[in-house]
Amino acid sequence: MTIRHMNILLVEDQPEACALLQDIAQQVYPAAHTTHCPTVAHALMRVDEAWDLALIDLRLLDGSGLEVLRRFKQCHPEVPAVVTTLFSDDASVFGALQAGADGYLLKSEPVCDLVAALQRIARGELPLSPAVARRVLGYFRSAPGADLRPSADLAEALTPRESDVLAAIGEGLSIHETGERLGITYHTANGYIKSIYRKLGIKSRAQAAVEAQRRGLLQ
């Protein structure tokens, strides 16, 4: 994804958080047009329009942002939908990932970290807050048989190089960092990641981290 004019759907009911996220989005995407929906009902009325990115809070005054997230991913399966919330409990994190979230950010993080997360989206990567990544990995270390993928048994085998790339992104490395570690270009690393996602039936870095742990690629 290149930095260009973008249409961003922002689902957020708190004015301060809304202003913060709009400011951050403007820093990363100077030409972005952000549409603010403060309620589930409002968001559902707009969700089938053309969007390049969705930032969705989980707990809204009239219901759950998960309803918006599910509908958004049904309408736009290839468009990044990132949860932005204050909650990092298991029910919130895993509920969002199972609903199709491509990333999960905590609004309590420093502004510079949130800016960096949206910059990763601009580079074609998908963000996961460190605290959330630790929670996901901790859960699957304690329950190694669990899986977030809808068709784990049907996953294709990975090549040795793809396994190396999966381990790197499972550790939280960016595409650039993965390329540097493995001595390959950014575009080659990105190509491997796309192949891995296709083979494993996954669509987020969170699910990639889970799969890397399940395969014993993380120490």
Listed residue (20, 17, 31) closest to 122, CA to CA:
31
Domains of the chain (ranges; CATH) run: 7-127 (3.40.50.2300), 149-214 (1.10.10.10)
**CA pair distance 54, 80, nearest whole angstrom:** 6
Q: pLDDT by residue (tens digit) across 82-121?
A: 999 999 888 888 888 888 888 889 999 899 989 988 888 7
What integer is the mean pLDDT of 19-33?
A: 91
Listed residue (69, 72, 77) closest to 97, CA to CA:
69
Contact predicate 214/147, CB 8 Å: yes
Question: Cα angle vertex 197, ends 152, 159, to 5°?
Answer: 85
Q: pLDDT by residue (tens digit) across 124-173?
A: 676 777 777 666 656 655 555 555 554 444 456 889 999 999 998 888 77
pLDDT confidence tier of residue 1, bands split at 50, 70 and 90: very low
Tell me the β-bridge partners of 7. 33
* Per-residue pLDDT at 184 exceeds 60: yes
What integer is the mean pLDDT of 57-72?
A: 94
**CA pair distance 149, 12, nearest whole angstrom:** 28
Q: What is the mean pLDDT of the chain?
A: 83
pTM given for the model: 0.67
Q: What pLDDT, on the 0 to 100 scale, is given for residue 37? A: 97
